[in-house]
Amino acid sequence: MFGLADPCNPVFLVHGLEPEDHHLIVVCPPAPELGGGRVASRERFLVMASDRIDIRHVAKLARLALTEDEVALYGAQLGNLMSHVDALAQLDTAEVPATAQVIPSRNVQRADALRPETMLTREAALANAPQAQLGFFRVPRIIGEEG
Amino acid sequence: MDPIRDSAAAIARAVNAHEVSAAEVAETVLAHVERADASLLAFRTLTPELLREQARLVDARLAAGETLPLAGVPVALKDNLCVTGTRTTAGSKILESFVAPYTATAVSKLLAAGALPVGKTNLDEFAMGSSGENSAFEKPRNPYDLDRVPGGSSAGSAAAVGGFETPISLGSDTGGSIREPAAFCNIVGFKPTYGRVSRYGLIAFASSLDQIGPFARTVEDAALTYDAIAGHDPLDATSVDRVAEPTASGLRTDLRGVRVGIVKQFDLASLAPDVRACYEAAYADLERLGATLVEVELPTADYGVATYYLIAPAECSSNLARFDGVRYGLRVDGADVGEMYERTREAGFGPEVKRRILIGTYALSSGYYDAYYLKAQKARTKFAQDFARAFERCDVIASPAASTPAFTFNAKSDPVSMYLMDYYTIPISLAGLPSLSVPCGAVVPEDGTRPMPLGLQLATPLFAERELLGIAHAYERATQHAQKLTPVTESTMSLRAPSGNLA
């Protein structure tokens, strides 16, 4: 995972400078083209981000065992798409709250009671399992051998 | 009554009147689809047992004195809708053998209304695409030119209705996946307000945008289908808890007093001259029917595709994390559980799905979240605000549904050029608005010989489905564009106009 001080990732977020927004700060040297360790604008950040997508790292996060051909293909395509997406930086959203849900909504609660019509039997729940055993999903070993 | 060519309204009238049984309709349609689909490839799976069982049930209910709004109406279901005991693939190898253990609410409601499920239709894998070409299985063809795509992602559902296999079908629309294929296939495709139709049992792509909706050959049939599936569902927490007014009773015949907004930023000058002329004629027809045209602003229009291609892949990467080879679907073994996950997903997902998972994972990864996902969510707020402002000056917004008619297979090899197909539909999706595409004419593409249909997109404020369908009906009734084309699959037969739309 990207850490806040990940050397591959010279950009990190400082939270709390303003309550409604976060600031992007470039800290890791050497990046003279960005003004070396100073605060870079969001726009600068976006433009540079698409140039250095580590596709292998992203694939690892996404749990995809890409082939070498795919790394080359998706790396190029992702870079191309992100350049298109970078245009968003020009849209002024300083005064705008984020929208996760466009429909007026409220918290939804229900009685803490069984709903048999939506419950699967154990048999039904396991019916699509690639491997099942003794009423459980069977998976490869997760915990290493003792010793 | 002809169950192949008549409207859903006409079929339901005949079946309710005991002129023909649901069982007879089922057998006629099944035999027809088995033959017609050899060239259309709309269907992934036919469901004859389910069809016959449902037909028996409908006939029994009618015999007991009931009247059902969709009695005996054949319906095709996009294969990302779960139906108990039925293979549900979402167009993906990773779910090739998945048998759904429960039924989507929208499907249950259609069955309760008397509809007959003919089968599951092909789609772009996990509903990601604008042509149907991203299906891991059969690639459906356009009924008006078999060398062209039917649009996507609800490719098979659109082809089935446009090609006169079934009068209605269900699709899902995330960024245009109902409206674009409807335009390409000369039919009506309707995406209701986000939350109007329960998503319970719809295999998730981008949860804040996905919405189920109908395809039909007439606005009236789309309204009847929508009325059957709309409404609050406690099984979907994002389902809207407010009364869905019936729309089939609100169909208008003129547009007097209606203010139609034309978006200044949707400049028709960028379109091919014949396509542009078609839309100019459509706007003029709206005016002729009594509407007033007003120019409205959508300053964010050009940011729609960028905003969408952050939000939708981000949600997709999260939703598709569940496909890991443990509980359902494909598994490819590995030395440990991590390797099993990676190999399973590598083998099970196709190129477009992998691309979107990668985009989404990147956009959500530590250090990039604010710059991409949060920025896109703020842009989304701007879209909602811009539309709200536009609707202070108009009742409905009219625009093209797509910038071109259906293109040929393999014409769009660059992902971004495919993404731009959704330029007109995406802003409306981001704002959650109800919207539809209704046939508005045809042009002969530069690389083609046959006239291919175009669609007029209409959109109204949140929850104004009744107004939207009413306006679309007035336009359809006055122009009758859909009747002017004949599918190549049916060109040897004489088609008569559907009889249910001029009541």
Residue B469, pLDDT > 60, answer yes
Whether residue A47 lies inside any domain: the answer is no
Three-state DSSP string of chain A: CCCCCCCCCCEEEEEEEECCEEEEEECCCCCHHHCCCCCCCHHHHHHHHHHHCCHHHHHHHCCCCCCHHHHHHHHHHHHHHHHHHHHHHHCCCCCCCCCCCCCCCCCCCCCCCCCHHHCCCHHHHHCCCCCEECCEECCCCCCCCCC
Look at residue A52 in the predicted model and tell me its pLDDT.
67
Cα–Cα distance between B131 and B151 in angstroms, integer?
A: 4
Alpha helices in B41-154 (DSSP H): 48-63, 105-112
Nearest to B319 by CA among B92, B83, B119, B99: B92
In the block, which residue shows the tokens 């109007």? B196
Query: Residue B295: CB partners within 8 Å, gap ≥ 6?
Result: B261, B262, B263, B264
Strand segments, DSSP code E, in B283-388 are 292-296
β-bridge mates for residue B263, sequence order:
B296
The first and second tokens of residue A120, run together, are: 């699967």
3-state helix, strand and coil shares in percent for chain B, rounded to the nearest 5: 40, 15, 45
The per-residue pLDDT for range B132-151, each reduced to its tens digit, is 999 999 999 999 999 999 99
Angle, vertex CA A63, rays to CA B321 and CA B93, nearest 5:
65
* Whether residues A57 and A80 fall in one domain: yes
Partner-chain contact B381 A59, CB within 8 Å: no
Whether residue A134 lies inside any domain: the answer is no
Mean pLDDT in residue range B322-327: 96
Average pLDDT by stretches of 10, chain A with 147 residues: 30 30 30 34 42 87 97 92 90 89 82 89 95 94 66
* Whether residues A26 and A60 fall in one domain: no
Partner-chain contact B378 A4, CB within 8 Å: no
Whether residue A101 lies inside any domain: the answer is no
The first and second tokens of residue A138, run together, are: 């069977």
Calculate the CA A14 to chain-centre distance: 18
Cα–Cα distance between A61 and B74 in angstroms, integer?
A: 44
Query: Is the CB of residue B365 less than 8 Å from the CB of residue A81?
Result: no
* Whether residues A34 and A63 fall in one domain: no
Look at residue A26 in the predicted model and tell me its pLDDT.
29
**Cis peptide bond upstream of B153, omega within 30:** yes
* Whether residues A10 and A35 fall in one domain: yes
Nearest chain B Cα distance for residue A97, angstroms:
6
> How many CA within 13 A on the CB side of residue B488?
17
Residue type, B341: Y
Residue type, A92: D
Whether residue A33 lies inside any domain: the answer is yes
- Residue B87 DSSP label: B
Mutation site, A99, A115, A143, interface B, largest B CB count within 10 A = A99
* Whether residues A30 and A3 fall in one domain: yes
Cα–Cα distance between A144 and A39 in angstroms, integer?
A: 45
* Three-class DSSP category at B52: helix
- Concatenate the DSSP letters of all residues of B248-296 into one string: GGG--S--TTPEEEEETTS-GGGS-HHHHHHHHHHHHHHHHTT-EEEEE
In the block, which residue shows the tokens 């010989």? B449
CB atoms under 10 Å from CB of B173, counted, come to: 29
B332, closest residue in chain A (CA to CA): A130
Residues of B226-248 as b/e, b for ≥16 C-beta within 10 angstroms? bbbbbbebebbebbbeeebeebb
Residue A75, domain extent? 53-93
β-bridge mates for residue B216, sequence order:
B168, B188
Residue B375, pLDDT > 50, answer yes
Angle, vertex CA B134, rays to CA B176 and CA B354, nearest 5:
95
Residue B498, pLDDT > 70, answer no
Q: Looking at the partner chain, which of B303, B384, B415 has a beta carbon nearest the beta carbon of A91?
A: B303
Look at residue A146 in the predicted model and tell me its pLDDT.
52
Whether residue A14 lies inside any domain: the answer is yes
Look at residue B51 in the predicted model and tell me its pLDDT.
98
Residue B370, pLDDT > 70, answer yes
Domains and CATH numbers, chain B: 8-264+384-490 (3.90.1300.10)
Cα–Cα distance between B344 and B293 in angstroms, integer?
A: 54
> How many CA within 13 A on the CB side of residue B498?
35
Residue B202, pLDDT > 60, answer yes
Whether residue A36 lies inside any domain: the answer is yes
**Cis peptide bond upstream of A30, omega within 30:** yes
Across chain B, mean pLDDT equals 95
Catalytic residue, chosen from B7, B92, B130, B153, is B153
Look at residue A53 in the predicted model and tell me its pLDDT.
84
The first and second tokens of residue B271, run together, are: 């379109």
The per-residue pLDDT for range B429-466, each reduced to its tens digit, is 999 999 999 999 999 999 999 999 999 999 999 999 99
* Burial (Cβ within 10 Å: 0-12, 13-18, ≥19) of residue B10: buried
- Residue B490 DSSP label: G
Q: What is the pTM of this model?
A: 0.90
> Cβ of A132 under 8 Å from any chain B Cβ?
no
- As for how many domains chain A has, the answer is 2
Cα–Cα distance between B325 and B343 in angstroms, integer?
A: 9
Q: What percent of chain B is modeled with pLDDT above 90?
A: 94
The per-residue pLDDT for range B241-297, each reduced to its tens digit, is 999 999 999 999 999 999 999 999 998 999 999 999 999 999 999 999 999 999 999
- Concatenate the DSSP letters of all residues of B148-181 into one string: B---SSSHHHHHHHHTTS-SEEEEEESSSTTHHH
Cα–Cα distance between B377 and B375 in angstroms, integer?
A: 5
* Burial (Cβ within 10 Å: 0-12, 13-18, ≥19) of residue B147: middle
* Whether residues A33 and A57 fall in one domain: no
Nearest chain B Cα distance for residue A54, angstroms:
9
* Whether residues A36 and A58 fall in one domain: no
Q: Looking at the partner chain, which of A59, A61, A139 has a beta carbon nearest the beta carbon of B326?
A: A139
CB atoms under 10 Å from CB of B452, counted, come to: 22
* Whether residues A61 and A35 fall in one domain: no
Nearest chain B Cα distance for residue A121, angstroms:
10
Cα–Cα distance between B482 and B328 in angstroms, integer?
A: 42
Interface of A with B in 41-100 (CB under 8 A): 42, 45-46, 49, 53, 55, 58-59, 61-67, 70, 74, 77-78, 80-82, 84-89, 91, 93, 96-100
Whether residue A87 lies inside any domain: the answer is yes
* Burial (Cβ within 10 Å: 0-12, 13-18, ≥19) of residue A141: exposed
* Whether residues A3 and A31 fall in one domain: yes
Query: Is the CB of residue B427 less than 8 Å from the CB of residue B306?
Result: no
C-alpha pair distances (Å), B10 with each of A95, B21, B492: 53, 13, 23
Query: Is the CB of residue B257 less than 8 Å from the CB of residue B447?
Result: no
Look at residue B79 in the predicted model and tell me its pLDDT.
98
* Whether residues A33 and A64 fall in one domain: no
Look at residue A141 in the predicted model and tell me its pLDDT.
82
Whether residue A24 lies inside any domain: the answer is yes
CA dihedral A134, A135, A139, A143 (to 10 degrees): -70
Residues of B in contact with A140 (CB under 8 A): 333-337, 339-340
Mean pLDDT in residue range B56-65: 98
Look at residue A22 in the predicted model and tell me its pLDDT.
30
